[in-house]
Structure 1
Amino acid sequence: MKKIKIAGVPEHFNFPWTKAIADNKFSDKGINLEWTAIPEGTGRLNQMLRDGQTDMAIILTEGIIKDILAGNHSKIVQIYVESPLIWGIHVDHNSPFETPESLKDKIVAISRFGSGSELMARVHAHQMGWDNDRMQFEIVNTIEGAVTALQNKSADYFMWEQFMTKPLVDQGIFRRVGVCPTPWPSFVIAVRDEVLENDTEAIRTVLNVINNFTKNFKKEENISTILSDTFNQNENDILEWMDLTTWSQSSMDESSLNKVQNELLELGIITKKGTFAEIVKAL
């Protein structure tokens, strides 16, 4: 049995992995896939790839591209979720801010630098025509940390996937004042170069298993009820989320990578473009 370590955020997008593990889909193919949930998000996942704490990561597209260009010795092997991630723009329920426009030059709560919460705050600021150099950040690590920061006013707003934060909106803890969809596929699968070189066939097996599983994931019996119970979500919200979400079984091609890099370059998230071979390895 070949052991492969994989990590990702504990969100509904990644439930196919934990469900497939529980259903012995990987072990039946000789893979002991060890899942680690990382609530801190993309910045922490990038660090785990760099440090060899994980072999694979399900990670935000913009975050891993930026980090590979900054020296992370990993490659994107596949797009995991093709559909955009819809980021909610949240303030404290009792905050005076009512619109995205009112948040100009305000303090953004982020999980850590290099995270999706930072990068998408920069995307949003660019779309609004604000000066990125004037942005201020407060590191909060997790959603719970963001709740505290917004309540004690050490930060003014927080961006996170809108359905994962919906229970906090429903409970009157957060108030959502807007949304900001990513202009690219939301999640990719990244693998450390060393693992790609030494365990190519094992990684191919992992991809084949998850791709076969995600093709039919929406048809799994009672899946909306299971997701609702697992993530403490209203089932109608889960059904809406499933309708908006498209899992991919395809590699990232050169034109798709260039499109993402051009967007990131224009936004100032990266300062140079990398080659296809530096960032992507199709298996």
Structure 2
Amino acid sequence: MKKVKIGGVPEHFNLPWYLTLKDGEYKDKGINLRWIDYPDGTGAMCHGLRNGDIDMAVILTEGIIKDIIAGNPSKIVQTFVESPLVWGIHVAHKSSYKAIEDLKGTKAAISRYGSGSHLMAYVNAKNNNWDLEKDLDFEVIKDLEGAVEGLTNGAADYFLWEKFTTKPLVDKGVFRSIGNCPTPWPCFVIAVREDFIQSNKDDLKTILEIINNTTTDFKNIPSIDKTIANRYEQKLEDVQEWLTITEWSQELIDEETINTVQNQLFALNIIPEIVAYKRLTHKL
């Protein structure tokens, strides 16, 4: 049986992977797919792909594009979630900051440099016409748990993370949400190490076929809203709102979208150059 390791964040977006694994769909096709949780997010998954700790990752579009340009030996083989990611902008519940403009020049908590929380702090700064040199400062906090500690003890002032994942912390009075910053592109793609693509094309196609069959009908699974609410400890109405704005994809990300992401990252000085579509993607 072929062993394949895939990484992703332990969030509601990836429930289709859990369901297909639980049902043994990959094993039925002779593939031992092992899921590895990456609560630290995209930066940690980029590291895992580079090191060969994982063969595949369900990863933020902007993060993997940046890392492939920086030398990560991987390619994007498919969009996973077509809709934008809604990043919530959070402060500690007792913080004196009331609005996004109050955060200018303060310190952003980020999981690591090159992570989504890092890159989106730049996008948020640009959206608000801040000086990207003077008005941004960072504190590395590793993960959501680290962000709770960092914002509570004042090591950092604000934190960008997926709105619905952090909503329970807002409800509990740990964080206060002061705004949103949606990505201007599809949020999650599936990236695969190049050496794995070359030597395991058939297995890779089978894996994508299985997950795509599930995401196509995911919203129609009976009581899926209740399943998500229970598994991820979220309010039912929040899950229902999230389901209405989230769309999965079964297609390779197109060149125009790739260029949109690159142009934004280049304008923010996050990438040193804009590269060809084929350097970032592989069509199976």
TM over 0.5: yes
**Aligned twin of 2:62:** 62
> Could you say what the CA RMSD is over the residues aligned between the two structures, in angstroms?
0.8
1:252–1:282 Cα contact (<8 Å) kept:
no
The one-letter code of the counterpart of 2:17 is W
**Aligned twin of 1:17:** 17
**Aligned twin of 1:111:** 111
**Aligned twin of 2:151:** 150
1:97–1:103 Cα contact (<8 Å) kept:
yes
Alpha-carbon distance in 1 for matches of 2:140, 2:126? 21
**Aligned twin of 2:262:** 261
What is the DSSP-based 3-state SS (H/G/I as helix, E as strand, rest coil) of the residue aligned with 1:164?
helix
**Aligned twin of 1:122:** 122
Alpha-carbon distance in 2 for matches of 1:178, 1:256? 25
What is the DSSP-based 3-state SS (H/G/I as helix, E as strand, rest coil) of the residue aligned with 2:101?
helix
**Aligned twin of 2:205:** 204
- Note the C-alpha offset of 1:262: 1.5
Alpha-carbon distance in 2 for matches of 1:18, 1:95? 37
**Aligned twin of 1:80:** 80
**Aligned twin of 1:183:** 184
The one-letter code of the counterpart of 2:251 is S
**Aligned twin of 1:167:** 168
**Aligned twin of 1:252:** 253
**Aligned twin of 1:5:** 5
TM-score (ref. length: structure 2): 0.98
The one-letter code of the counterpart of 1:81 is V
**Aligned twin of 1:274:** 275
**Aligned twin of 2:26:** 26
In structure 1, list runs of 5 or more residues that go unmatched: none
1:89–1:178 Cα contact (<8 Å) kept:
yes
Report Cα offsets for 1:158-208 as digits up to 9, x if no partner.
000000000000001100000000001000000001101111111111111
- Note the C-alpha offset of 1:212: 0.7
The one-letter code of the counterpart of 1:123 is V
Alpha-carbon distance in 1 for matches of 2:133, 2:49? 29
Report Cα offsets for 1:20-53 as digits up to 9, x if no partner.
1001121122211100011000000000000000
Using the TM superposition, name which of 226-235 and 268-277 deviates more. Answer: 268-277
The one-letter code of the counterpart of 2:77 is V
Alpha-carbon distance in 1 for matches of 2:113, 2:263? 21
Alpha-carbon distance in 1 for matches of 2:273, 2:127? 20
What is the DSSP-based 3-state SS (H/G/I as helix, E as strand, rest coil) of the residue aligned with 2:7?
strand
Alpha-carbon distance in 1 for matches of 2:261, 2:178? 26
- Note the C-alpha offset of 1:100: 0.2
**Aligned twin of 1:39:** 39
Alpha-carbon distance in 1 for matches of 2:254, 2:108? 33
> What percent identity do the matched residue pairs reach?
51
The one-letter code of the counterpart of 1:132 is L
Alpha-carbon distance in 1 for matches of 2:254, 2:121? 27
- Note the C-alpha offset of 1:238: 0.5
Equivalenced residue count is 283
1:83–1:186 Cα contact (<8 Å) kept:
yes
Report Cα offsets for 1:87-126 as digits up to 9, x if no partner.
0000000000000000001000000111000000011001
The one-letter code of the counterpart of 1:226 is T
**Aligned twin of 2:132:** 132
- Note the C-alpha offset of 1:255: 2.0
- Note the C-alpha offset of 1:268: 2.2
Alpha-carbon distance in 2 for matches of 1:190, 1:178? 30
- Note the C-alpha offset of 1:71: 0.3
The one-letter code of the counterpart of 1:5 is K
Alpha-carbon distance in 2 for matches of 1:43, 1:123? 17
- Note the C-alpha offset of 1:256: 2.1
**Aligned twin of 1:237:** 238
Is the aligned partner of 1:101 residue 2:113? no
Alpha-carbon distance in 2 for matches of 1:15, 1:272? 35
What is the DSSP-based 3-state SS (H/G/I as helix, E as strand, rest coil) of the residue aligned with 1:36?
strand
